[in-house]
Amino acid sequence: MRIIGLVIIFVLLLMGVMNGGSLGNVIDVPSVLIVVGLTLGFGLQGKIPFGMMMKSFFGGAVQGDDLRLVVLGWQHLRTYVMVSGVLGTFVGMINMFHALDVYDALLPGTATALITTFYATVLSYVVFLPLQHQLEKQLEDV
């Protein structure tokens, strides 16, 4: 069911993007680097168990105390990705405000501000939260 839910979400997001736009409008490498890079950096600082988390992401069994650590890791990663999106928004807004005198330079800053928030929200609520809920349910069943 999780795969069906992800497909529905991504198809609807894609339809929204393609309605009056193009896929290229939501693909921005600097924004991806900001969101993913900062999230990984925060996670490494917070000593998140990435190995066990990747195992759980790809369907591997995680048991006992390791399962609790993985659930906590996904909770922290959700927080980190949202903070990364907000920081990316700030970077985009700073770039935008520095270019107020040049109209053409406003748009890239605005795009960075919005797209980093978009990436962070999609990762947090479409990928990380459902996985976290699934693992929490496993933890309750133990």
* Separation of alpha carbons 37 and 19, rounded Å: 30
Please identify which residue in the block is written with the tokens 């609790």. 68
Confidence of residue 104 (pLDDT cuts 50, 70, 90): confident
Task: Give the whole-number percent of the chain exceeding pLDDT 70.
Answer: 98
- Which residues, other chains included, contact 127 with Cβ-Cβ below 8 Å and sequence gap of 6+? 6
Ordered by start, the domain boundaries in the chain are 29-141
Tell which residue, 70, 86, 71, 75, has the closest CA to residue 121: 86
Compute the mean pLDDT over every residue in the chain, rounded to the nearest whole number: 87
- Indicate if the pLDDT at residue 79 is higher than 90: yes
